[in-house]
Amino acid sequence: MAPAQEQLEGEQIVASNEDGANCIEKSRVTVIGSGNWGSVAAKLIASNTLKLDSFHDEVRMWVYEEVLPSGNKLTNVINETNENVKYLPGIKLGKNVVADPDLENADFLDLVGGDIAVKDATMLVFVTPHQFMDAICKRLVGKIKPDVEAISLIKGMEVKMEGPCMISSLISDQLGINCCVLMGANIANEIAVEKFSEATVGFRENKEVAERWVLLFSSPYFQVTAVQDVEGVELCGTLKNIVAIAAGLVDGLEMGNNTKAAIMRIGLREMRAFSKLMFSSVRDSTFFESCGVADLITTCMGGRNRKVAEAFAKNQGKRSFDELEAELLQGQKLQGVSTAKEVYAVLSNRGWLEMFPLFTTVHEICVGRLPPTAIVEYSEHKPKCCLA
Amino acid sequence: MAPAQEQLEGEQIVASNEDGANCIEKSRVTVIGSGNWGSVAAKLIASNTLKLDSFHDEVRMWVYEEVLPSGNKLTNVINETNENVKYLPGIKLGKNVVADPDLENADFLDLVGGDIAVKDATMLVFVTPHQFMDAICKRLVGKIKPDVEAISLIKGMEVKMEGPCMISSLISDQLGINCCVLMGANIANEIAVEKFSEATVGFRENKEVAERWVLLFSSPYFQVTAVQDVEGVELCGTLKNIVAIAAGLVDGLEMGNNTKAAIMRIGLREMRAFSKLMFSSVRDSTFFESCGVADLITTCMGGRNRKVAEAFAKNQGKRSFDELEAELLQGQKLQGVSTAKEVYAVLSNRGWLEMFPLFTTVHEICVGRLPPTAIVEYSEHKPKCCLA
């Protein structure tokens, strides 16, 4: 694949040439975020930048600094051991991954010399918790190259009354840059040990840029496909969590595989219908990709939303989701309950509740208006208009 | 819903009128087959014929006669106890289900008086093991009404070198009648105890007939949807078994949910691609129905193909599928291995092997040419042409 010509800047056409590539600017990648998934993403990327002539070897990883129980700083330990000992212990990230301190380290953003700061990055990978994105974008304004390309790996966009608030749009709007998304059936710890998996890149218009992201993430054990449907791909990553709540309820009620598969299918139908009502550009075929059906399956078989919902049903709804989340997830957070609430508000506002019996019922169960058993009773009513 | 006018015959316009319906012929339903799923189908149908004026109450169920250990005939016990004590014990079928003896009872086919024989049926439900269908159709030629409507619930069509040999086509061709299909995520024992489930009716042209089948099978716990894609629906029911073998191998290799979801997704893609290459009329949307994604999920989570393939992988392929099938399934038969072989022959014959890496690899593992671990190694290679 040819280097992305459209990313060239006049003063940088002659770039370093240490590995004999043509004198065309190489892409510099910075990963913004260093949790479990962010660390795995850095590992995937770092193995590729070593192989691909059109990328600088070094991958910068922006780390929210923490002092470890040993008294050492997390960034120092990552750079010394080549492991994210806190969020991905036991996995070598690649020696070309360089941890940089957190966003609050304003000096970091202002570094000028050398090629180490975000200001020199040409490709930014966002993989932080979604609630930090607004603040991060505000910090980055004016600090990045104007033609930098971005990709968001962040699941958990919010669905506001006026419609979904896509993380990719937030990045695009606040920073004035193009932003793709990467979603899929991606349990970080399984990919970290190189078990076979897939992912989907969603892009808006520029296919060459999408192919460059595919190149950067792909490996024999991590197959990436690009589709021109950024909203569809991103919505899958959020809406599936509502379906996982429903699947967990079915598990807790011990209804069997048959009912669970039916509920997952109805959930996938509502994901598709909701996405298409929100964005007419959303494609049916996106839901056949890893971000769609595969991520839904993984999430409904083993995810945290499923787990807490199962416990909720087993307790006949007598212990709240908040209580069970605190007990079962050791500080991790559920997305499904809040997403169900947000989607319910949109549906209610637009008079669409009856068209989405599964989404509606999940929310009403979560807030205690309906018993857990309603998940199968209410899903029996077909939507009043044909959504398929 | 109005009675199906197109099914009227001159001499039968004035039919019995015991429940005050209009003097229009009522449909008479015969279920051909009485195994586990056939008995559940009869139960579903029988609860509806009692409620719907346009159907005769009585549902005839054609039973392959057996003498039980007690010395009693199976048909007699079914008619006395209202239970299929052998294939669905503990479940009342409905008092309006009448068991008739097996196909080999030639006298039965020749019965004339009354309304009890298949010759008076206007709707035939086929739900026997598929290997008996050819013989059954031969026996029925000339014994049924020319305008009878049929539906096949039989999974396990064969894929011959010249293409798939659909059971619905066999019925249509041999008997000269229209034939729909009903497929879906249908574990008979779960539906028998009225757990929520769904199914898909595939029809060729006549939507009114399809709607009549939907009416006959639907209940609050069994939601049926009709789609105009008989081949797509029927192929789903067969091809999913190859994918279930792949899913079972992943389970046996302990690759985790992520890999399993990826393999299921790739399998669904190949099911879609193969079906569309075989029949250009096949619709993508069919694979979002219960017969598609939901049946695939159920089969890959708990079915017998998955179970035996898991054992095969755990034994590193050292014990054959035949041996494990005999040990694990107590006389039940695997479909996946033979379907994989049949599909492989078609792909090989047409030069399509590389386009279907998952289907191809499953067969090569089953016959011992590749180790079980190849299921993830080989699936890494994307098909050479875009099938999506």
Regarding beta strands B222-227 and B149-152, do their DSSP bridges make them parallel or antiparallel, or are they unpaired? Answer: unpaired
Close Cβ partners of A269 (under 8 Å, ≥ 6 residues apart): A387, A388, B288
Closest CA of chain A from B237, distance in Å? 15
Nearest Cβ partner for A298 among B195, B257, B288: B257
| pLDDT for the residue numbered A115 | 35
Give a three-class secondary structure readout of A45-81.
Answer: HHHHHHHCCCEEEEEEEECCCCECCCCCEHHHHHHHH
Rounded mean pLDDT, A230-242? 96
DSSP B180-241: EEEESS--HHHHHTT--EEEEEE-SS-HHHHHHHHHHH-BTTEEEEEES-HHHHHHHHHHHH
Report d(CA A313, CA A252) in Å as an integer.
5
Which CATH architecture describes the domain A6-228? Answer: 3-Layer(aba) Sandwich (3.40)
| pLDDT for the residue numbered A212 | 97
What residue of A is the nearest CA neighbor of B221? A380
| pLDDT for the residue numbered B130 | 84
Contacts of B357 in chain A (CB under 8 A): none
**Crossing angle (nearest 10°) for helices B230-252 and B304-314:** 30
Contacts of B197 in chain A (CB under 8 A): 258-259, 262
| pLDDT for the residue numbered B142 | 84
What residue of A is the nearest CA neighbor of B388? A285
Three-state DSSP state, B313 = helix
Close Cβ partners of B280 (under 8 Å, ≥ 6 residues apart): none
The token duo for B121 is: 């049926």
Return the residue in B222, B265, B270, B287 with the most chain A beta carbons within 10 A, the one to mutate for interface testing: B265
| pLDDT for the residue numbered A102 | 55
Contacts of A255 in chain B (CB under 8 A): 190, 195-196
| pLDDT for the residue numbered B229 | 98
Contacts of A223 in chain B (CB under 8 A): 262, 380, 382
Which among B259, B255, B249, B207 has a CA at the least distance from the CA of B228?
B207
What residue of A is the nearest CA neighbor of B188? A258
| In the block, residue with structure tokens 């990978």 | A125
- More confident: A119 or B13: A119
Three-state DSSP state, A179 = strand
Report d(CA B4, CA B179) in Å as an integer.
16
% pLDDT > 90, chain A: 73
Nearest Cβ partner for B196 among A196, A255, A287: A255
Could you tell me how many CB contacts below 8 A there are between chain A and chain B?
Answer: 147
Q: Are B186 and B233 in contact (CB under 8 A)?
A: no
What residue of A is the nearest CA neighbor of B199? A262
B218 lies within 8 A of chain A by CB: no
A137-146, A259-268, A334-343, B249-258: range with lowest mean pLDDT: A137-146
Residue A1 has pLDDT above 90, yes or no: no
Residue B330 marked as a ligand binder? no
| pLDDT for the residue numbered A155 | 85
CATH of domain A232-379: 1.10.1040.10
| pLDDT for the residue numbered A114 | 34
| pLDDT for the residue numbered B273 | 97
CATH of domain B9-228: 3.40.50.720
Q: What is the mean pLDDT of chain A?
A: 87
| pLDDT for the residue numbered B353 | 95
| pLDDT for the residue numbered B2 | 33
% pLDDT > 70, chain A: 87
The token duo for A203 is: 């892009």
Residue A265 has pLDDT above 60, yes or no: yes
| pLDDT for the residue numbered B160 | 83
| pLDDT for the residue numbered B378 | 55
A222: which strand partners? A197, A219
Q: What part of A 284-303 touches B (C-beta under 8 Å)?
A: 284-285, 287-290, 293-295, 297-298, 301-302
Residue B315 marked as a ligand binder? no
Return the residue in A223, A258, A290 with the most chain B beta carbons within 10 A, the one to mutate for interface testing: A258
CA atoms within 13 A on the CB side of A91: 24
The token duo for B369 is: 């040419």
Residue A128 has pLDDT above 50, yes or no: yes
Q: CB–CB of A196 and B294 under 8 A? A: no
Q: CB–CB of B261 and A294 under 8 A? A: yes
Q: CB–CB of B256 and A379 under 8 A? A: no
| pLDDT for the residue numbered B316 | 92
Q: Check residue B291 and report its DSSP letter.
A: I
Report d(CA B43, CA B64) in Å as an integer.
18
For each of chain B's 388 residues, which pLDDT tens digit applies?
Answer: 333 333 333 333 333 344 444 456 899 999 999 999 999 999 999 999 999 999 999 999 999 889 999 999 999 999 999 999 999 999 999 999 999 885 534 344 444 333 344 778 999 999 998 888 888 999 898 888 889 999 999 987 778 888 888 999 999 999 999 999 999 998 899 999 999 999 999 999 999 999 999 999 999 999 999 999 999 999 999 999 999 999 999 999 999 999 999 999 999 999 999 999 999 999 999 999 999 999 999 999 998 999 999 999 999 999 999 999 999 987 777 889 999 999 999 999 999 999 999 999 999 999 999 999 999 885 555 544 433 3
A199: which strand partners? A224
Contacts of A263 in chain B (CB under 8 A): 196
CATH topology identical between B9-228 and B232-379 = no
Residues of B annotated as part of the active site? 240
Q: Domain segments of chain B: what residues?
A: 9-228, 232-379
- More confident: A15 or A201: A201
Residue A9 has pLDDT above 50, yes or no: no
Give the Cα-Cα-Cα angle A31, A37, A43 (nearest 5 degrees).
60
| pLDDT for the residue numbered B24 | 66
Rounded mean pLDDT, A272-278? 97
| pLDDT for the residue numbered A13 | 31
